[in-house]
Structure 1
Amino acid sequence: MNGRRIAASMAVVMTATAVMPITAEASTNIDLRKKVIGISGIMSVTNMDSAITRGEFASMLVNASSYRSTVSSVSNTSVFADVPRDHSYAASIRIAAEQGWMTGYLGGNFKPDEYVTLQEAIKGTLALLGYENADFTGDQTGARQSKYHFLELDENMNKSPEEVLIREDCINLFYNLLKTDTKAGTMFGKSLGCELTSDGEINPLTMVDNSLKGPKIVRSKSRLSDYLPFKLSAASVYLDGSPISNSSESISAALENDNGVLVYYHPVSKTVWLYTVGSENENGRSAVFGEITNVIYNSADLMTPDAIILDDGNTYELDSTEMKFAFSTYGDMRVGDTVTLVYSVTTDSSGDETRTVLDYIED
């Protein structure tokens, strides 16, 4: 049960930001880019105007690479005099320096708290694509900038080489990186589960669908921590569709609910979605616990159920083949059984609500 993924329900990943229509003249919408980068786990997509430090950028490079699964919160060694072992980005800085993605300064310092420039960022992203010093002759800096423009890593980037990058710049840069072919000729983003749509943009829905885990009901913070394959303190967390701090008291408050909290998580991006059972959300998913009081069948097909009714009096539509089978005479669920339903809510122009079952967990 916990491994079931319903493709039609992937709209949950779009609840944090709304994707607006893209005109023929406009570049890719920033909301779409934010969603892709957020799901990828490369960086936080909040505080768009904040300047990015060299330490933060080292972390972004590592999170975009194959080293993402091995980096720890504490480095075993101190590579630079101004980066102690317990520095927030010590491990990422060590990896970025060892791989040649970023370099330090004379005197053995890295200056992790200074802001990163586009010139430094270009070197790091080209290195991720597999380009080395030997690939750039003469003026290395100028040659790298030419390659950066040639590969169209500059889309939506309106910065000169010496300018400091803000978070929005990094979202654009890494989104462009994901779409770009490596030196070996493979789209870089494939390693993070990225697929291109027919118009050449990255589809965030397929990224989540590739490895979304859940649903699971948990009733304590310790159970939640045991269920997740990563530390909650390292995760991006959404509660009932809204982003919250991973240390928020809201999580503890939600877990005090008698029926628990519904959990989905995405291991690659370290993103967790929590839904308070019994709290109905207009966006994304909702969850309800109750007893099945009736199964409604199609008058033209008496073996195929169209909906079920719970003891809360609400009707929950069954749209997918999987859900129809589960609540049919051939499935496991019967009138009188208790169940946690995962569902979405839509409201038509007349104000009528439709609740559609996306998944379920047997009690």
Structure 2
Amino acid sequence: MNGRKIAASLAFVMAATAVSPMITEASSSFDLRKKVVGISGIMNTGNLNLSVTRGEFASMLVNASSYRSTAGKTSNTSVFADVPRNHEYAAQIRIAAEQGWMNGYLGGNFKPDDSITLQEGVKGVLGLLGYANSDFTGDQTGSRLSKYHFLELDENLNKEALEVLNKEDCINLFYNLLKTDTKSGTMFGKSLNCELTSDGEIDPFSMVDNSIKGPKIAKSSSRLKSILPFKLSDANIYLDGEPVNNSSNAIDVSLESEDGVLVYYHTISKTVWLYTIGNENENGRSAVFGEITNVVYDSADLMTPGAIILDDGNTYELTSTEMKFAFSSYGDLRVGDTVNLVYTLSVDQEGNETRTVIDYIE
């Protein structure tokens, strides 16, 4: 089967699933902040109350930087005595130290398992914004904290300089970083496809619209794992529109269904959307496998189809140009072909059902 490029409408509804509820207040809710930072791939956004180690924070800094794609699992050299080459964050710690975002300690140690403090975190994010030691005079720590407050990197953060940061604090810090202009005057988040809404908050839809991959079909756990470019155990998973644990038995049940599941994924945020083929959801996306028994044309336009009918007897509306073309005489699909459809189901007040195709696999 040939995978189709995802339709823009599907990207939009997936983004809505990942980031809802959206808000319009001038100051964004923490839920939105959490989703934006998660989509950015900067950090895992679970276990909010856990304190963040220096090693973890080095990883966050690198994930937010242009070095994110070059940092390997191991470092070529052991920069610090307590960070061996095969340490989980060896490469990230080396980069953070080389770029001046973080410092080591006397004796050649980094103390990767110690908790990160606010003043250490501030040095790191200001470094990402392009500020160097030479930009601060006198008390460097105090000057950096003043800049941190001036740039409003402290929004929704209420910590003193030596207090330890937890994951919730880091979500707020990195969200604020994404909105802040660099020293050269460009919004930092633009490098991660961030755009601001009219109320000055980050629009999460702009971050995922063109980077969702799929659809693919999986009928076993091994097939699902082979599709994904990241570990399933690290993924945020939505099954038929609902969030599920990545070890949920519901995933195995869906994979064992007769026609399997359709798979979409977003690499940066490690998010996976699974749709059980044959399972219809009124409030989300659904998938169906069947044979095309009829292509319905509008009497006013005999070249452009308006719907198709499958062997389940249901009519599936074609509203987008891409879907109309695919099922027209110019496309590759014909009556008698089998197809997997991704569609939405709506029901009006009189109980009439409308199924609208948003993607397919031949």
TM-score (norm 1): 0.88
1:124 alignment counterpart? 124
1:19 alignment counterpart? 21
* 1:269 matched to 2:266: no
How far 1:154 sits from its partner (Å)?
1.6
How far 1:353 sits from its partner (Å)?
4.2
Q: 1:46 to 1:279 in 2, by over 3 A?
A: farther
1:172 alignment counterpart? 172
The 5 Å alignment of 1:1-363 reads 2=3, 4-9=5-10, 10-24=12-26, 27-232=27-232, 234-244=234-244, 246=246, 251-348=251-348, 352-362=352-362
Alignment root-mean-square deviation, CA: 2.5
SS at match of 1:119: helix
> Equivalents in 1 of 2:111, 2:352: separation in Å?
58
Are the aligned partners of 1:2 and 1:213 in contact in 2 as well (CA < 8 Å)?
no
Greater mean alpha carbon deviation, residues 165-174 or residues 347-356: 347-356
Q: 1:14 to 1:48 in 2, by over 3 A?
A: farther
How far 1:17 sits from its partner (Å)?
4.6
SS at match of 2:344: strand
SS at match of 2:290: strand
SS at match of 1:183: coil
How many residues are paired up?
360
> Equivalents in 1 of 2:283, 2:40: separation in Å?
22
SS at match of 1:19: coil
How far 1:187 sits from its partner (Å)?
1.7
Q: Deviations over 1:190-218 (max 9, x none)?
A: 21111222332222112111322222223
Partner letter of residue 129 of structure 2?
L
Are the aligned partners of 1:15 and 1:283 in contact in 2 as well (CA < 8 Å)?
no
SS at match of 2:296: strand
SS at match of 1:307: strand
Are the aligned partners of 1:265 and 1:271 in contact in 2 as well (CA < 8 Å)?
yes
Partner letter of residue 29 of structure 1?
S
Q: 1:357 to 1:46 in 2, by over 3 A?
A: same
> Equivalents in 2 of 1:349, 1:62: separation in Å?
51
Q: 1:157 to 1:318 in 2, by over 3 A?
A: same
Are the aligned partners of 1:14 and 1:35 in contact in 2 as well (CA < 8 Å)?
no
> Equivalents in 1 of 2:168, 2:202: separation in Å?
17
> Equivalents in 1 of 2:253, 2:86: separation in Å?
31
Q: Where do 5+ consecutive residues of structure 2 fail to align?
A: none
Q: Deviations over 1:275-295 (max 9, x none)?
A: 232233455432211111233
Partner letter of residue 328 of structure 2?
S
Are the aligned partners of 2:287 and 2:341 in contact in 1 as well (CA < 8 Å)?
yes
> Equivalents in 2 of 1:118, 1:282: separation in Å?
46
> Equivalents in 2 of 1:34, 1:347: separation in Å?
33
Q: Where do 5+ consecutive residues of structure 1 fail to align?
A: none
> Equivalents in 1 of 2:4, 2:357: separation in Å?
16
> Equivalents in 2 of 1:20, 1:205: separation in Å?
10
> Equivalents in 1 of 2:190, 2:36: separation in Å?
13
SS at match of 1:199: coil
How far 1:306 sits from its partner (Å)?
2.4
Are the aligned partners of 1:16 and 1:242 in contact in 2 as well (CA < 8 Å)?
no
Q: Deviations over 1:56-79 (max 9, x none)?
A: 211111111111112223334433
> Equivalents in 1 of 2:348, 2:98: separation in Å?
56
Are the aligned partners of 1:153 and 1:176 in contact in 2 as well (CA < 8 Å)?
yes
How far 1:123 sits from its partner (Å)?
0.6
> Equivalents in 1 of 2:350, 2:118: separation in Å?
51
> Equivalents in 2 of 1:249, 1:48: separation in Å?
25
TM-score (norm 2): 0.89
How far 1:244 sits from its partner (Å)?
4.5
Q: Deviations over 1:318-357 (max 9, x none)?
A: 1211112222233222222100101223344555543221
SS at match of 1:66: coil
